[in-house]
Amino acid sequence: MYVTRVRAALWIATLALFLALFNVTLSAQWLTYPSKGLPTKADGSPNLMAPAPRTADGKPDLSGVWDVEKNRPCGITGCPDQAPQEYFNIGWALKEGLPYQPWAAALVKSRTAQNSVEDPVTRCLPIGVVHTHTTPLLKKIIQTPALLLILNERNASYRQIFIDGRPLPEDPQPSFNGYSTGKWEADTLVVQSNGFQDDIWLDHNGSPLTEAAKMTERFRRVTVGRLEMELTVDDPKAYTRPWTVKLSQNLVPDGELLDAYCLENEKDIQHFVNHSVAR
């Protein structure tokens, strides 16, 4: 019928306009490509509250694309890619703040007074595992029986957490990511790390991590949609006692990593008012 054909043409035109407006084709949309294998609700959407998936050997599976949990107020139009409080101050949730050694407290005061212009994030340098946890760029965890591999959007970088039973290295070559080995304690993956480079910035304030540090991360996937992590830093050179904070990630059920190269087009450093010589 003529009316039916007109209506069909209208639908096609509407769809074409919709696609043109959003400049996409359905088959090429990796930005929102849905993850396979997630449990679903009655309406077909992912059930993020379902129990955490398990691997063939019965361990919780931490695999997925993850985004750091946001705990700062959002702008009027929403909360995407908002950095959490811990990005600026890793000890934000601690009642008495971070237990800095006096020199570390003075260092943080000096860094914040200069608007953190030497922040390695700003200089496009590697930023270490803690700042990577709090950075609002996506991460992908790939879990195999012997290795937990974390792929980061930031500078298309990676981190390896070995779960093959190897001990921590003795006298390791200092590294931005350190050396990590983990083992399962019931449903919690307990990861120990050492071998850090000296003076890694744990946050934008410049809280230091020294080469003397030992770090423990306890990962627990409490539901499909939530990965909780407890971070303990034991660094007597910079802190008067070990301290523990909680950092969590939320699953991105329909997202894929996009490379984010900091050096691609860095144009801010030249405009900073507190100029310093780059490392």
Contact string 186-205 vs another protein (x = CB under 8 A) = ------------------x-
Does position 97 interact with another protein (CB under 8 A)? The reply is: no
Instruction: Give whichever of 138 and 189 is closer to another protein, judged by the CB atom.
Output: 138
Strands (E) across the chain are located at: 64-68, 139-143, 147-152, 157-162, 179-185, 188-194, 200-201, 208-209, 214-223, 226-234, 243-251
**Residue burial 55-77, b: 16+ Cβ < 10 Å; e: rest:** eeeebbebbbbbbbbbeeeeeee
**Out of 144, 160, 240, 274, which residue is the one contacting another protein (CB under 8 A)?**
274
CB of 55 to another protein, least distance (A): 29
Does position 34 interact with another protein (CB under 8 A)? The reply is: no
Does position 82 interact with another protein (CB under 8 A)? The reply is: yes
Instruction: Give whichever of 158 and 166 is closer to another protein, judged by the CB atom.
Output: 158
Does position 268 interact with another protein (CB under 8 A)? The reply is: yes
**Residue burial 246-278, b: 16+ Cβ < 10 Å; e: rest:** ebbbbbbbebbbeeeeeeeeeeeeeeeeeeeee
**Out of 14, 40, 144, 240, which residue is the one contacting another protein (CB under 8 A)?**
14
Residues that bind another protein (CB under 8 A): 10, 13-14, 17-18, 21-24, 31, 72-83, 87-88, 114-117, 119, 121-122, 124, 135-138, 153-154, 204, 255, 258, 260-262, 264-269, 271-274
